Amino acid sequence: DTGVSQDPRHKITKRGQNVTFRCDPISEHNRLYWYRQTLGQGPEFLTYFQNEAQLEKSRLLSDRFSAERPKGSFSTLEIQRTEQGDSAMYLCASSAASGNYGYTFGSGTRLTVV
Amino acid sequence: AQSVTQLGSHVSVSEGALVLLRCNYSSSVPPYLFWYVQYPNQGLQLLLKYTSAATLVKGINGFEAEFKKSETSFHLTKPSAHMSDAAEYFCAVSSMEYGNKLVFGAGTILRVKS
C-alpha cells in the first residue's frame, strides 16, 4: 500500500463550474477525513467518514459541498457552482479507529477558481 | 479560546543552530498532540506524536517535543538545523473536547540560512 492518494493534484476551473476530487485512503483505515487549507493557514476540518457513514460535517461545508464514501473505500468531494473563495488545497487523510495516533495525509488537490 | 497557538509565523535559524518552534494548546481534557511538516505543494507528514505515554517524544529527522501540562505547551526542538529542515510546521491537537478530530495551528515557516 502506497499511502493516501488524491486525484487530481491540480485543478483549474472557471467560476460556476462543478468539480470533483477523489481520495483513496490506506486500505486498512476505516476513517477518512477531508480538510481545506488556504494560504498562510493551517488545515481546517471539513468532514469525516467512518466506513461509509459520514459522521460529521463542519459549518465551513456549505450546501455547495458534498462528500461521499459509497463503499467505505475511496471518497469523493464535489463542489458545485465554484466560487473564487473555494480556491484552496483540499487535503484528504485516513486513520485507523479513533485517529488519536495521527492521520496519514495525501498530497492534496490544489484548486484554483478563475 | 484558540485551540492551538503557534507563536511566530516565521522562524529563521542558521544551519547548525538550535531549532525551537513553539506550540500552546487549549484542552480541558487530556489531549493527544502532534507535529506535522509540510513541504511546498505537498501534503502533511507526521513528525511525532504525544499520546499520554512519555512526555518527551522523539520523532523523525532528529526532532523531539516535550509535553508540559502545567504550561499547556508542546514545543518542537532540534539541536542542529539542516538546510533540508526548511518547511512549514504545524502543531495539532486531538481530544474529546474537539470531537476527537485533529485541530491545527496556523503553522510556522522555518527558514534555514547557510
**What amino acid is encoded at B69 in this protein?**
K
**Chain B closest CA to A20's CA: distance in Å?**
19
Q: In the A/B pair of chains, how many CB contacts fall below 8 A? A: 61
Q: How far, in Å, are A45, A58, A59, A82, B81 from residue A62 at the CA level?
A: 13, 9, 7, 11, 42
Q: pLDDT tens for residues B70-83?
A: 999 999 999 999 99
Nearest-CA neighbor of B37 among B110, B114, B112?
B110
Q: pLDDT tens for residues B12-67?
A: 999 999 999 999 999 888 889 999 999 987 889 999 999 877 899 999 999 999 99
Average pLDDT over chain A, rounded to whole? 93
Is residue A77 within 8 Å of residue A67, measured between CB atoms? yes
Is residue A27 within 8 Å of residue A1, measured between CB atoms? yes
**Chain B residues in contact with A101 (beta carbon < 8 A):** 32, 49, 51
Assign A68 a pLDDT band (cuts: 50, 70, 90).
Answer: very high
Nearest to B106 among A41, A107, A108 (CB): A41
> Could you tell me if B2 lies within 8 Å of chain A, comparing CB atoms?
no
**Chain B closest CA to A64's CA: distance in Å?**
23
SS3 B96: helix
Which grid cell is A100?
488519536
SS3 A109: strand
Chain A residue at shortest CA distance from B109: A40
- My answer on whether omega of the bond before A8 falls inside 30° of 0, hence cis, is yes
Instruction: Let me know if B28 is exposed, middle or buried by CB neighbors in 10 A (0-12, 13-18, 19+).
Output: exposed
